[in-house]
Amino acid sequence: MKQNTLVHHFQVLIDEECCKGCGLCVTACPKQILELIPTRLNRKGYHPAHVTDIKQCIGCTSCAIMCPDIAIVIEGQVE
């Protein structure tokens, strides 16, 4: 018997110009796939966050919920 398997694809969209590099998203991520980019500064002078391994994202939205600047949006689809 063949089982139906759901495949989840998520995209974490981070508005780097809105991000103030507070790191709350980094702390909130249960998969620890977010980090601040130490070599990049946005126009405000902050190190923005980015995803290190999108394949590990579970789409929980913890990062987006914790972001005080609403700089993170999670998009996803199930196949």
Q: What is the DSSP string of 12-29?
A: EEE-TTT-----HHHHH-
The band of 29, judged by pLDDT with boundaries at 50, 70 and 90, is very high
Amino acid 76: pLDDT: 86
Amino acid 3: pLDDT: 60
The band of 78, judged by pLDDT with boundaries at 50, 70 and 90, is low
Q: Whole-angstrom Cα distance, residue 79 to residue 73? A: 20
Q: What is the pLDDT of residues 34-65, one digit of tens each?
A: 999 999 999 999 999 999 999 999 999 999 99
**DSSP secondary structure string, 33-79?**
-EEE-TT---TTS---EEES-GGG-----HHHHH-TT--EEEEEEE-
* Region 8-78: CATH code: 3.30.70.20
Which of the 8 DSSP states describes residue 2? P
Amino acid 77: pLDDT: 74
- The domain segmentation of the chain, as residue ranges, is 8-78
